[in-house]
Amino acid sequence: MKLPRWFHQLGSPPYVYRLAERLAPWLGGLGLLLLAVGSYWGLVIAPPDYQQGDSARIIYIHPQTAYVGMMAYVVMAVAAGIGYVWRMKLAHAVAVSAAPIGAWFTFCALITGALWGRPTWGTYWQWGDPRIMSEALLLFLFLGYLALRGAFDDRDKADRVTAILAVVGVVNVPIIHYSVEWWNSLHQTSTLLAEGGPAMTIDMLIPFLIMFAGFTLTFYWLLLRRLQAEIVEREGNARWLRDWLAGARNE
Amino acid sequence: MSEFFSMGGHGAYVWSAYGITLAVLIVNVWLVRAKRRSALQRAKALATQDEVPRKQPTVRRLQ
C-alpha cells in the first residue's frame, strides 16, 4: 500500500516540531478564551436547573473533562497502534504525550463528578456504580500505561510493550459511554445526546458546547507542547535540532 | 453578590469543582513547561559539547 505524502511528513520530527510551534499558540489562545467565556456564561448568565438548582452548573465542566479524558485515551491508543504497526517513532511520542494529560483530565472528571454527586445523589462515591467504576478504570489505565513505561530502560522496548496495553484498553472507552444505558447507574444519561435532541434549553446548551470546544482545544494545545518536549528528548543530538537551537539563540 | 457565591446553598460544591479544574489546568501547563525546559537544556548541553559530532544519517529534504 502506498502511503500519502502527508503521512510521511507527519513521521518527520522536524516537520512536526515546526508545525506544532505554529499551531500551538492559536489552540492555546482560543482554547483558554473559550474556557473563560464559557465559565462566565455557565456560572453567571445561564439559569439554574429546575430540579438540581445551582449545583447543575457543574455540567459545564464535568462532562467536558470526562470527554477529553476519553478522547485523550483514543488519541493515545490510535497513536500507539500506528507506532506499533508502522514502527513510527513519532507516533509513540504522541501516545506518551497524551497519557499524562488524559490522566489529569480523567482525575478532574472524577473529582467534579464526586462534587456533583454529593448534593444530587447524597454521596460522593458509589462503589460498584458502572459509570464511576469504568471512569476510574480509565484513570488506572493511564496510570498503568505510565508506570509500565517507567519499568523499561530501553525507550523502543517501552514504546512497543506499552502500545499493546494502550490498544487493548481502548475497549473501556465505549464501556464508559454506554455504561449508563447498559446497566443501572446513579449517573444520569447523556444530556447532549438525549433522544429527541439535547435535553437542555439554548441558554444552557451554548455555554455547554463552548466549554466542550474550550477543553478540547486546550487539550490539543497541551498535547502539542508536550510532544515538542518529547521530540527534543528523543532527538537528542540531531542536526536539525542543533540548527533550530542555534537559530533560536541568535534571534 | 453573596447570593451568587452561595449558589443556592451548593456554593461549596460548585466553586470547589471549578477551582480544582482550574488548578488541574495550571498544573498541566506548569508540567509541560518544566518538561520543555529540561529537554531543551539537555539538548543545548549536547549541542555545545566540543566532541566530534556523531555521524548523522543522510536525510532527503521533503519537498
Name every residue whose Cβ is closer than 8 Å to that of residue A56 and which is 6 or more positions away in sequence: A48, A49
Residues of B in contact with A50 (CB under 8 A): none
Please answer yes or no on whether B21 and A65 come within 8 Å at the CB atom. Answer: yes
Answer whether residue A241 shows pLDDT above 90. Answer: no
Residue pLDDT, tens place only, A182-240: 998 888 888 888 888 888 889 999 999 999 999 999 999 999 999 999 999 998 778 88
SS3 A184: coil
Per residue in A106-152, pLDDT tens? 999 999 999 999 998 889 999 989 999 999 999 999 999 999 999 99
CA A112 to CA A110: how far, in whole Å? 6
**A52-100, pLDDT tens digit by residue?**
888 889 999 999 999 999 999 999 999 999 999 999 999 999 999 999 9
Whether the per-residue pLDDT at B1 is higher than 90: the answer is no
Cβ atoms of A226 and B35 closer than 8 Å: yes
Place of cell 508506570: A147
Enter the pTM of the model. Answer: 0.91
Inspect the interface and report whether the beta carbons of A116 and B4 lie closer than 8 Å.
no
Name the amino acid, one letter, at A109: A
Please report the pLDDT score of residue A170 as a whole number: 97
Say if residue B10's pLDDT is above 90: no
Query: Residue A23 has what pLDDT?
Result: 97
| Percent with pLDDT over 70 in chain B | 81
Residues of chain B found within 8 Å of residue A242, distances taken between Cβ atoms = 47
pLDDT of residue B51: 55
- Residues of chain A with Cβ-Cβ distance to B31 below 8 Å are 100
Q: How far apart are CA B58 and CA A5, in angstroms?
A: 19
* CA atoms within 13 Å, Cβ hemisphere of A239: 9
Q: Which residues pair with A49 in a beta bridge?
A: A53
Q: B49: which 3 cell numbers?
A: 559539547
What per-residue confidence (pLDDT) applies to A131? 94
Residues 6+ apart with CB under 8 A from A36: none
pLDDT at residue number A243: 82
- Determine the straight-line distance between the first and last CA of chain A, rounded to whole angstroms: 43
The lowest-confidence range among A53-57, A162-166, B8-12, B39-43 is: B8-12
Which value does ipTM take for this structure? 0.91
Question: Is A226 within 8 Å of A97 (Cβ atoms)?
Answer: yes
Of B9, B25, B36, the CB nearest to A225: B36
The whole-number pLDDT of residue A247 equals 75
**pLDDT value of residue B50:** 53
